Structure formats: structure tokens, C-alpha cells
Amino acid sequence: MTDAMIRIEGLGHRFGGTPILHDINATVGHGVLCAVAGANGCGKTTLLRCICGLLHPTEGRVSIAGRSVEEYSARELAQTVSFVRQHHATDVDFSAFEIVQMGRNPYQSRLQNESQADWDIVEQCMKQTGTWHLRFARPGRLSGGELQRVMIARALAQQTPIMLLDEPTSSLDIAHQFEVMELLRRIVAEEHKSVVIVMHDLNLILQYCDEVMLLHQGSILYHGGVDEGLSPERVAEVYGIEAMRHSVEGRPHLFFSKLSR
């Protein structure tokens, strides 16, 4: 048995009669930044939703720290797994500070108010994500990238050993993409969290992630180190494009072109 924080065994999921995932077997250890990649519609978001208990798999199971997800209470699960969705509501009447503060809810009783310690954690997480200056803003006044960073701050405030993020850099400019990935890399190294992140940018995966889980047609084509996983051959099989690997300032980098038919 490996030192697995997340264990996925024989997982399959259907929407109606349509299979989305089938026979998914994988483990993610402590202190690992694991990317989930693959073409659109291959089941990446569905997999994240099964891991955090938002979806119940049709087949198989997901275990966290040796316990099936279904055995956790909602409160226990919220103290164990945080999930940053790809899309967020912008019509809620809360400030950015109040949204991040919601990450502290799993640690409070129904009648308990936030403590100074909770406020300090919220401030720290907003400063980590560069959103402290936005603390009084409402979501409708924030850009997509600003709102995304606020939601990452809320997940950090939840202080869970596992973080799941669905395309957290998709609406960010280049500078903030690097900032978010540097932040996640630092969190994994310093706090030993298990972070699973759906991403399309293969070069960001190469630069920052420990592992990649390549999904293809609803199953895992590869799960392991990123250098081997993002080989030109696998990129061609999954995405139907030609990839060439070069070193740029000592770091591996992929360059792409359309495959000739």
C-alpha cells in the first residue's frame, strides 16, 4: 500500500446512459501537485466532482486517508477537501472578504461567530492570492481573474489537506497564472497538501506539477511523472497535435503544430 491521500478504485460514472468515466484507478500521495489533463469532454471535471463527493460514481469508489468519501459527514469532508470550481456566481451580495470568510464555516458551530483567528486567516489568504485590496468589492465588480483568485483564497482559508481546482488559471492573465502556480507549488512544498488541478496549459504542467493524469476517452492513458507523461507521442494521441520538446533557459518546453493528415 502506498502512502495515498486519495485512492480511486475502479471508478466509473455515467450521465443518463452516457459513460463519462470508466475503470479509473489512481492514487495521489501527500505533498503532490497532480495535474489532470486531456481533451475537452474526457471527464476531467467529473473526476474532480467524484473525488470531493459532489457526484457519486456509478461504479467503484474514492477513498481519502483510508476512508471512503461516502463515510464522511458533510462537515468532515469540508474540513478535508476544498474545491475551486471553474465558474462562479457573480450575483451574490457578499464582499470578497465575506466570500473568503466562508472558507472558515466548517470549523464553526451554528451559533458561533467568526473569531479574530478566523479573520487573521482570511487576511493572510487574501494577501497570499493578491486579493486583499479587493476585500470590499462585490463579485459583480470583479474581473474573471480577480474572482478566481478570491475563490482560491476561500479554498486556502478552508485549510484542508486536499485542494481540488478546476482550471484555476483559465481566466487569469499570464502574470497571475504564474503567481497562482507559484503559490500552489509553495503550498504543496511547505504545507504538504495534496493538490489536484485540471489544466489545459501543458507547459505550466511541465514547469510546476509533480505528476500528470492524462485522461483519454474517459479512461486514464497515463499517470505519473510529467516529463514522461507529456511526451510528443502521448500529446499527439490525446490532442491530435504535433508537439516538439525543447529546453528554454534550462526548462522543458513544448511547441505545437497541427498534425498533417
pLDDT tens-digit profile of 37-95? 999 989 999 999 999 999 999 999 999 999 999 999 999 999 999 999 887 766 678 99
Give the position of cell 465588480: 141
How far apart, in whole angstroms, are the C-alpha atoms of residue 18 and residue 66? 30
Give the position of cell 459513460: 19
Give 194's contacts (C-beta < 8 A, 6+ positions apart): 5, 6, 28, 29, 30, 31, 32, 34, 161, 162, 163, 188
How far apart, in whole angstroms, are the C-alpha atoms of residue 55 and residue 11? 12
This prediction's pTM: 0.91
How far apart, in whole angstroms, are the C-alpha atoms of residue 122 and residue 221? 39
One-letter amino acid at 122 equals V
How far apart, in whole angstroms, are the C-alpha atoms of residue 51 and residue 59? 13
How far apart, in whole angstroms, are the C-alpha atoms of residue 177 and residue 157? 20
Handedness of CA 189, 190, 193, 195 (dihedral sign): negative
| Continuous H helices in the chain | 44-51, 74-78, 96-101, 116-128, 144-157, 174-191, 202-208, 226-229, 232-239
Domain ranges of the chain: 1-80+160-235, 89-159
Burial 15-25 (b: 16+ CB within 10 A, else e): eeeebbbbebe
Q: How confident is the model at residue 1 (pLDDT cuts 50, 70, 90)?
A: very low
Homologous superfamily of the 1-80+160-235 domain (CATH):
P-loop containing nucleotide triphosphate hydrolases (3.40.50.300)
* Per-residue pLDDT tens digits for 44-59: 999 999 999 999 999 9
CA separation, residue 95 to residues 98, 100, 143, 171, 218 (Å) = 5, 9, 14, 20, 39
* Per-residue pLDDT tens digits for 207-259: 999 999 999 999 999 999 999 999 999 999 999 999 888 877 777 888 888 76
Nearest residue to 206 (alpha-carbon basis) of 234, 187, 165: 234
| Percentage, residues of the chain above pLDDT 90 | 68
CB 69 within 8 A of CB 63: yes
